[in-house]
Structure 1
Amino acid sequence: MTDPAPASPPPTTAPARLTVLSGPTAVGKGTVSAEMRRRRPDLWISVSCTTRPRRPGEVEGVHYHFVTPERFDELVATGQMLEWAVVHGVHRYGTPREPVERQLAAGRPVLLELDLQGARQVRVAMPEAQFVFLTPPSFEELVHRLVGRGTEGPEERERRLATARQELDAVTEFDHVVVNDDVTRATGELMRLMGLQEQVA
């Protein structure tokens, strides 16, 4: 008579997988993230810290945590940033580490909306994450969106376009590419990549 097979261990809640959404400036990362949140209110999207000034209509704690350069230095020095970067050679952006780890451990789907530098740092810190590159239908369309946004002056706009050209060359570093030719379609594709279905009210 053989010994009975050992009982299987009780199931545990596995940490959720982190998805990082990146892409060039003005490609629509924020718009797609907002649509993701509308379709899936349970989706947790990290709110980044930044040293740049608040734009009209932006809300503290909703769009960004707006902090002084001194406070940003403190967060970096104490290891409280999952990633951070100087964007467009001027302002710093970063993702607080603790909220991300807490949400993942609880099994909640997490989306990080990051620039290229930040995505690269997360690739090192959390290589198990899924990395998605959001790209415009064409560079001409990206220019049109940036000009139409009207939030930057000519000098800032040229600096951002120069950065965008370099960012577009990094597309091969990502696991998946989503073309933002239509927000509804692009959001649906991102949801499929994350294994999410739209919640029915």
Structure 2
Amino acid sequence: MNKGLLIVLSGPSGVGKGTVCTELRQRHKDLVYSVSATTRVPRAGEVDGVNYFFKSKDQFLDMIARDALLEHAEYVGNYYGTPRDFVERTLASGKDIILEIEVQGALKVKEKFPQGVFIFLVPPSLDELKDRITGRGTENSDVIDHRMSVAVEEMNLIRYYDYAVVNDQIDSACYRIQSIITAEHCRKDRFIADLETMKEATEKA
């Protein structure tokens, strides 16, 4: 009954995953953030085990070989991934852990950890999503068009998720996610094994 939940928050780029995840953690101090492993060099002020688990390339490749990552990817010459051991130890301690990740990475996690709770964050509309991406002011029109095309493809993968939450307002989105977490903790499947153990203990007494 005391085991935690792995909550996987995903969705297209620009939908606001990071903002929602940060707000959820502010509201729930016990919600653990899934720390990724990486081979990139630490930046000023970054702490190993807090911002990332910093690994050498050989260490990271060894983690891949040992199936010690729930997912991994290479980006701009560096590796990034989700350590399985950190997730499992956190869950065993009874704490919920949240993983904020892109769609393709989330689907890889689901292959190895299907018992997780997979939540797809949806924009109010594609026009709103485009406005959010454009509002960053960091990409030209060609890049924005490409990202919108990718976003549409990613949204077609929503059927592989357990829940969908529209990110129209941060407060509303966080409330819906909080409701999902509460409901998941009350699923009968989480109690059956423990009830059987309690029953056996009573019979032996």
Q: Which amino acid aligns with 1:94?
A: G
Does residue 1:83 correspond to 2:71, yes or no?
A: yes
Cα distance in 1 for partners of 2:33, 2:138 equals: 23
TM-score (norm 1): 0.75
Alpha carbons of structure 1 residues 154 and 52: separation in structure 2 relative to 1, 3 Å:
farther
Cα distance in 2 for partners of 1:142, 1:54 equals: 32
Provide structure 2 residue ranges, at least 5 long, that are not aligned to the other structure: 184-205
Identify which of 122, 125, 128 aligns with 1:135.
122
Does residue 1:189 correspond to 2:159, yes or no?
A: no
Q: Which amino acid aligns with 2:64?
A: V
Cα deviation digits, residues 61-93 of structure 1 (max 9, x gap)? 655557676664443234321112357x98754
The Cα of 1:151 is off from its aligned counterpart by 4.3
| Aligned residue in 1 for 2:154 | 167
Cα deviation digits, residues 113-172 of structure 1 (max 9, x gap)? 121112112212121111110010011111111121234455554443332121111112
| Aligned residue in 2 for 1:108 | 95
What SS class does the counterpart of residue 20 from structure 1 fall into?
Answer: strand
Identify which of 13, 21, 27 aligns with 1:25.
13
The Cα of 1:110 is off from its aligned counterpart by 1.2
Query: 1:85·1:117 contact (CA, 8 Å) conserved in 2?
Result: no
- In the alignment of these two chains, the number of paired residues is 182
Provide structure 1 residue ranges, at least 5 long, that are not aligned to the other structure: 1-12, 197-201
| Aligned residue in 2 for 1:7 | none
Does residue 1:123 correspond to 2:105, yes or no?
A: no
Q: Which amino acid aligns with 2:28?
A: R
The Cα of 1:111 is off from its aligned counterpart by 1.1
Alpha carbons of structure 1 residues 40 and 80: separation in structure 2 relative to 1, 3 Å:
same
Query: 2:70·2:113 contact (CA, 8 Å) conserved in 1?
Result: no
| Aligned residue in 1 for 2:84 | 97
Which stretch shifts more, 154-163 or 91-100?
Answer: 154-163
Does residue 1:36 correspond to 2:16, yes or no?
A: no
Q: Which amino acid aligns with 1:21?
A: L
Identify which of 135, 149, 153 aligns with 2:136.
149
The Cα of 1:54 is off from its aligned counterpart by 9.0
Counterpart mapping for 1:61-80 below 5 A: 64=52, 72-80=60-68
The Cα of 1:41 is off from its aligned counterpart by 0.8
What is the percentage of aligned positions where both structures have the same residue? 40
Q: Which amino acid aligns with 2:135?
A: G
Query: 2:11·2:103 contact (CA, 8 Å) conserved in 1?
Result: yes
Q: Which amino acid aligns with 1:110?
A: I
| Aligned residue in 2 for 1:45 | 33
Q: Which amino acid aligns with 1:162?
A: S
